[in-house]
Amino acid sequence: MMAQADPLVERIVACETCERLRSHCREIARVKRRAYREEEYWGRPVPPFGPRSPRLLVVGLAPGAHGANRTGRVFTGDSSGDWLYRALHAHGFANRAESVRAGDGLALRDATVTCAVRCAPPGNRPRPSERDACLPYLVEEIRRARRLRVVLALGRFAFDAFLRAWPAAGRVSWEERPAFAHGAETRAGDGRVTLLASYHPSRQNTQTGRLTEAMFDAPFARARALLEDS
């Protein structure tokens, strides 16, 4: 039986709201990186990956220019994705540790991976206006995730975007705005959802030692423990 189309995914992929981002993604897809010159780049906004109503939602910054912007699947085809899917697999959220390309057999269990911004930004730095233009997509993801129990934000940008989307989705917010820090943990106002924070597994963080594998593994282990207790 053919899988039912997801209207949210269709709207994300067709989005042309941010001219700067769309022009950049198309140019990257046209020029390509030498190592991938024989591949056809995705070059469009990247939708979430995973079930529509997960218990764990992982929120990243934006697609990588030669990662998700090339493969069409979030956190796929670059080193950040290597770190992410190893951690998800280690704690039972993925059926394999590698994410190479769409259609490679990778499947997520009880977890969905998404981004605050759906197009690869120049210099990996989205503008606040671009974050806000993408925010309704994250709001809708939160609204339909009725089983949601844990959110893991990768980096300050994703953390802040989630804090903006959460009340917009009609969820009970925090009495005091949580502060971002690696390993930070806080409960939403209704006590049902826990927000975890981690440094983003970018090369800037992993190659400098600011983020180690053990540090990155810890919030995923915590997410698994929270879900087992819920």
Give the model confidence (pLDDT) of 150-201 as tens digits. Answer: 999 999 999 999 999 999 999 988 878 899 999 999 998 778 999 999 999 9
Answer whether residue 48 is part of any domain.
no
What sign for the dihedral angle of Cα 144, 134, 75, 106? positive
Answer whether residue 72 is part of any domain.
yes
CATH code of the domain covering residue 139: 3.40.470.10
pTM for this entry = 0.96
Answer whether residue 144 is part of any domain.
yes
Dump strand ranges (E) for 78-225: 111-115, 150-154, 185-187, 194-198
Phi, psi of 211 (to 5 degrees): -125, 120
pLDDT reported for residue 3 = 58
Q: For the chain, what is the domain count?
A: 1
Q: Does the pLDDT of residue 64 top 80, yes or no? A: yes
- The proportion of the chain whose per-residue pLDDT surpasses 90, expressed as a percent, equals 92
Phi, psi of 83 (to 5 degrees): -65, -45
Reported as a single tens digit per residue, the pLDDT across 84-117 is 999 999 999 999 999 999 999 999 999 999 999 9
Q: Containing domain of residue 93, as a range?
A: 54-229
Answer whether residue 186 is part of any domain.
yes
Answer whether residue 208 is part of any domain.
yes
**pLDDT mean over 8-30:** 98
Contacts of 35 (CB under 8 A, 6+ apart): none
91 vs 102: CA distance, rounded Å: 22
Answer whether residue 44 is part of any domain.
no
Answer whether residue 173 is part of any domain.
yes
Answer whether residue 78 is part of any domain.
yes
The amino acid at residue 155 is G
183 in the Ramachandran plot: left (φ > 0), alpha (ψ -120 to 50) or beta? left
Q: What is the dihedral of CA 55, 58, 62, 66, to 10 degrees?
A: -100
Reported as a single tens digit per residue, the pLDDT across 25-39 is 999 999 999 999 999
